[in-house]
Amino acid sequence: MTADRVDVAIGALAEHAFGLLERLVAEPSTIGQEAGAQEVLAEELQSLRFDVTRLEIPESIAEDPAAGVSRNPYAGRYDVIGRRPSAGGGPSLLLNGHMDVVPAEDLSQWTSRPFEPIRRDGWLVGRGAGDMKGGFAAGLLALRALDDTVPGWQRGDLTFVSAIEEEATGNGTLAAGRAGYLADAALLLEPTDLDILLGGIALIWVRVELTGRAGHAEAALHSVNPVRGISSILQALESIEQQLNAEHARGEFADDAFSAIPHPYNVNVGKVHAGDWASSVPSTAWLEVRVGHPRRLASEDAFDLVRSAVLAVTSADPWFSVHPPTVSMSGYRAQRYFQDPDADVVTVLARAHESAHGNLPEQVTIGSTTDARFYLNQFGVPAIAYGPRTRNMHGTDEAVELASIVDCARTLARFLLDWYGTGRTE
């Protein structure tokens, strides 16, 4: 039976996929440094007979109403696009992953070096192993196993997009879509613990900069320490978070897609910085914040809400009332998205998961976002995410469960056969 042969091939090729994953994790592809990992992937795609294109993100993406605010120039930074056309006449499909990872500069709680992948108790530990290089390993494992066992299985066009900057703006996937790399459906290989991820909330990034007057600490009476503005700003942000989640709990402006999440709209202060010396008064202080928000607010409305709150609390201070902080958008301007679960891509994936694992997968939404929002909101392409099991994404000792990469590939292989009409496995 086809599925059995494919499963055997997946098992036999798993070590190859884990090796690929280790090579990807060993490339520290934080934002701005994606090229090394992208080249590892490009080589793998070529070995799978994809036509590979390197798509540099145009700086003009900044003018796109759906784009995030990028703070890194795009010269030399590109998506890797693989294309495998087919004359089979079946539906087309796009597989998407993001190669960028969040930084791991705070090493104090890591038990190994983040960019030196290490296997431990069936998990592969390293920054990006979970989010989301393990997804690349699973997707390519499924493709290689199908190529080895079911000749001619791909009866429609297949596109693979390895995007950059998903973790800050989404502009990599947006640029690929604007360049025409689309399909009848998109499957994102984000880590979902083998659940089907249907939707994500809206969120923005905001940067607040406070300016004081620098000086020596012994002359602090003549200086103004901008740090003194931060505590009131933190309180203002906290009350925005409380307000948005209280509204959600009361069912006001109800968004049924997220009703199962008790506290979806987190406001996270991710970066705070001021000064360089304990005995000096710093000239500036800044913080960067991620603000999850409901769909009733457009990105600009959510930004106005944050900016007004910051200016309101700081205006009570005699210095800041004359020297108000600068508040700006500094990354995501992500719209809420939700995939209708009746779509074919959901049905076919659920069936594939059930065939591989004996039970229907959970269908979930999250209090964050993925690049699926662009396929759904900007391009009208049905899109879901499905991927391996992970722990501590964005945290210390981030890891992916190796067995779940195999489990994921078993679902994906069945999904691909069914999607392209090559054969359904029951």
Q: Binding residues for Zn ion, per CB under 5 A?
A: 131-132, 190
Helices vs strands, H then E, count in the chain = 10, 19
Least Cβ distance, residue 279 to Zn ion (angstroms): 42
Least Cβ distance, residue 409 to Zn ion (angstroms): 18
Supply 236's token pair: 């203002």
Least Cβ distance, residue 102 to Zn ion (angstroms): 9
Least Cβ distance, residue 203 to Zn ion (angstroms): 14
Supply 43's token pair: 């080589």
d(CA 224, CA 219): 10
Residue number, nearest CB to Zn ion: 131
Nearer to Zn ion, 37 or 310 (CB): 37
Least Cβ distance, residue 393 to Zn ion (angstroms): 7
Supply 25's token pair: 């994790």
Q: Residue for token digits 């800050």? A: 168
d(CA 150, CA 417): 9
d(CA 270, CA 287): 8
Nearer to Zn ion, 132 or 327 (CB): 132
Q: Residue for token digits 């603000």? A: 291
Nearer to Zn ion, 175 or 208 (CB): 175
Least Cβ distance, residue 366 to Zn ion (angstroms): 11
Least Cβ distance, residue 373 to Zn ion (angstroms): 13
Are the C-beta atoms of residues 197 and 366 closer than 8 Å to each other?
Answer: yes
Nearer to Zn ion, 132 or 313 (CB): 132
Least Cβ distance, residue 394 to Zn ion (angstroms): 9
| Amino acid in position 325 | P
Nearer to Zn ion, 190 or 401 (CB): 190
Nearer to Zn ion, 129 or 145 (CB): 129
d(CA 287, CA 269): 7
Contacts of 128 by beta carbon, 8 Å cutoff, 6+ apart: 24, 25, 29, 101, 398
Q: With 0-12 CB in 10 A as exposed, 13-18 as middle and 19+ as buried, what is 380?
A: exposed
Q: With 0-12 CB in 10 A as exposed, 13-18 as middle and 19+ as buried, what is 342?
A: exposed
For 12, which DSSP code? H
Nearer to Zn ion, 397 or 418 (CB): 397
d(CA 270, CA 342): 37
Nearest CA to 337 among 194, 170, 183, 172? 170
Nearer to Zn ion, 302 or 393 (CB): 393
